[in-house]
A and B are shown apart, each in its own frame.
Chain A
Amino acid sequence: MSLNPLELFAQLPGAVAQGLIWGIMAIGVYITYRILNIADLTVDGSFCTGGAVCVVMLLSGYNVGLSLLCAFLAGMLTGLATGLFQTVCGISAILAGILTQLGLWSVNLNIMGKPNQAINVNNYDLLVSLRYLQEVLKGTRPFYWSPILVAGLFVVVIVGLLYWFFGTELGCSIRATGTNLHMARAQGINTDFNKVLGLMLSNGLVALSGGLLAQYQGFADINMGRGAIVIGLAAVIIGEVVFARIFRNFALRLLGIAAGAIIYYVVIQAVLWMKLDPNNLKLLSALIVAVFLAVPHWKKSLTAPFARKGGGRDA
């Protein structure tokens, strides 16, 4: 078995493009996980909803812009469902997400009509496609068609919009809702409304990302969102660990999350290049995320006054 570095190098542009597309999803996860302080599992379903809506609309002859917009709106509806489960029905955040996710399985199948809907890049005008990437690299297509550029543009515009939004009165009140419910209510903030709004925004972005990925890979699949939340968390955590010290500004931190997704995909490519059985990828992802989530906890208990060294107090 020989490892050819050139082979890995050839895979890099694809990893970066995929990372950027998933980066949009990761930014959506950041909104719930970090800003609203909710672990939202809707993501695994809404990612596929975005892909399904986008592909089915393209197949029905709508243009790519409208298809992506509808994917975004459909994602917002999934967030609305989870949000109403949490606020109106009083269901815990985790369970609310799981319920929506489960229900979306049927919804997504209904949208697509079958578990897998392919879309041929030869017959439709797509915004991003693996084919475009290959053609740009070969020089048979102008550089501005590169999915890296297009997805990168999406990321930059989205980060810009979010930077503005979370600086507004409404955006600030959403941040306060995620930080301290008591304080938010005492300051007259409608915390239920804000939670729903945040979940909608988050899942809208997740679905948009799903719409882009479906185009990029040329199909939407009922399983395309499976484990998406873990990839999103991985990107958020990697982005924070790598860039937290350098990026204090909110917009830069969001860009750091997208960069985290790129790093994740480059690492995955590298692991595949080392001939790891792809079936074990999900196990690897789960372990990586678990370790990264555990590290801050371990750090805390090591530095806490009564931990380990000074321990024995409550023994």
Chain B
Amino acid sequence: MLEIQKISKTFNPNTVNEKIALKGLSLVLKDGEFVTVIGGNGAGKSTMLNAVAGVFPVDDGHILIGGDDVTRLPEYKRAAFIGRVFQDPMMGTAASMGIEENLALALRRGQRRSLRWGISHKEREQYRQLLASLGLGLEDRLTTKVGLLSGGQRQALTLLMATIKKPRLLLLDEHTAALDPKTAAKVLETTESIVNRDKLTTLMITHNMKDAIMHGDRLIMLYEGQIVVDVSGEEKKRLTVEKLLELFSRASGSDEAEDKMILS
């Protein structure tokens, strides 16, 4: 479903701030695969996701989604294929607009925005059901401004928005990192159930190694802009935090893994 072919990205090239974020990174995701992504701070995880989403152009390489080469496609056009949830709960929703208005915007992702009315009556029923499935009581607050919701509620809503039109690819960038543990667990649970229900091809970045092991059917680890660990199938099921740390220090050729990974 997703094919990343040797992409490279250097920020601020030819300056003192030059930073090589991705070094010829390749990755192929099968249809319906749920991949968790871990790696230390600055390893290039977000850069990889943003490159796929088209936030900036890559210097080198190609990106294919469902067989279509999207390397040259601007961010808003790629959005037709991609659902995204960000780390910052403020980023995924329009605060000054109502819950139903946000969902209506998401439902029209990938369509030309016409002069038809922005929300139809039929949709409202769908929204109510979807919101009810979150179990947060949002189904009775369709017209509430999203700015009034809590971080967890906003992330759950963003998750709905990302998946209301089944995307070819779901990108989650530490979408529970800004939430308290209880809320984070709840949002993660919702994520799992939506991904399973719709069999979504998913890339989920997390800083929590337990979450990375517990969820998904494949785990990759990034280090200095490259994939250094890639486990799936039975091996992934048997993975433990200790084993993961060991894999990491072997791949990176040092034992800085301990500090880098545990602290974060």
Contact = CB atoms under 8 A, between A and B. Distances in A.
Interface of A: 165, 167-173, 175-176, 179-180, 182-191
A169 B80 contact: no
A172 B104 contact: yes
Contact of A186 (B53, B90, B113): B53
B115 A169 contact: yes
Interface in B96-140: 96-97, 101, 104-106, 108-111, 113-118
B9 interface: no
Nearest to B104: A172
9 contacts: A165-B115, A167-B118, A168-B118, A170-B115, A175-B94, A183-B94, A186-B84, A188-B77, A189-B113
A187 B106 contact: yes
B108 A169 contact: yes
B120 to A, nearest CB: 10
Contact of A169 (B53, B75, B79, B113): B113
Do most interface residues of chain A lie in helix, strand or loop, or is the interface mixed?
A: helix
A170 B114 contact: yes
A171 B116 CA distance: 10
Contact of A179 (B53, B75, B95): B95
Nearest to B88: A182
B191 interface: no
Contacts of B148: none
Which of A179, A182, A188, A189 is packed against the most chain B CB atoms within 10 Å? A188
B149 interface: no
Contact of B79 (A170, A171, A187): A187
A179 B97 contact: yes
A154 B84 CA distance: 43
A191 B115 contact: no
Given A189-B76, A190-B76, A169 B116 contact: yes
A171 B118 contact: yes
A189 B112 CA distance: 9
Q: Which of B97, B113, B114, B115 has the most CB of A within 10 A?
A: B113
A176 B109 CA distance: 13
Contact of B110 (A170, A171, A188): A188
Given A168-B113, A169-B115, A187-B108, 14 more contacts: A169-B114, A169-B117, A172-B101, A172-B113, A175-B97, A176-B97, A179-B94, A182-B91, A182-B92, A183-B92, A186-B75, A186-B86, A188-B110, A189-B113
B93 interface: yes
A185 B105 CA distance: 11
B222 interface: no
Contacts of B113: 168-170, 172-173, 189
Contacts of B105: 172-173, 176, 184, 187, 189
Interface residues of B, number: 33
Given A168-B114, A168-B118, A188 B97 contact: no
A189 to B, nearest CB: 6
A180 B91 contact: yes
Q: Secondary structure at chain B's binding surface: helix, strand, loop or mixed?
A: loop
Interface in B51-109: 53, 75-77, 79-80, 82, 84, 86, 90-97, 101, 104-106, 108-109
Given A167-B118, A175-B97, A191-B76, A183 B91 contact: yes
Contacts of B53: 186
Interface string B35-49: 000000000000000
B169 interface: no
A31 to B, nearest CB: 14
B205 interface: no
A184 B116 CA distance: 19
Given A175-B97, A179-B97, A183-B94, A168 B117 contact: yes
A196 to B, nearest CB: 14
Contacts of B90: 180
Contacts of A182: 86, 91-92
B175 to A, nearest CB: 12
Contacts of A189: 76, 79, 105, 113
B2 interface: no
Contacts of B76: 184-185, 188-191
B193 to A, nearest CB: 22
Contacts of B94: 175-176, 179-180, 183-184
A314 B90 CA distance: 26
Contact of A188 (B79, B92, B95): B79
A168 B101 contact: no
Contacts of B111: 188
A167 B117 contact: yes
A296 B73 CA distance: 41
A88 to B, nearest CB: 13
A37 to B, nearest CB: 10
B204 interface: no
B217 to A, nearest CB: 25
Given A176-B94, A183-B94, A188 B80 contact: yes
B161 interface: yes
Q: Which of A168, A170, A173, A180 has the most CB of B within 10 A?
A: A180
A185 B79 contact: yes
B211 to A, nearest CB: 23
* Closest A-B pairs by Cβ, 8 of them: A188-B79, A172-B118, A179-B94, A188-B109, A169-B113, A170-B113, A173-B113, A176-B94
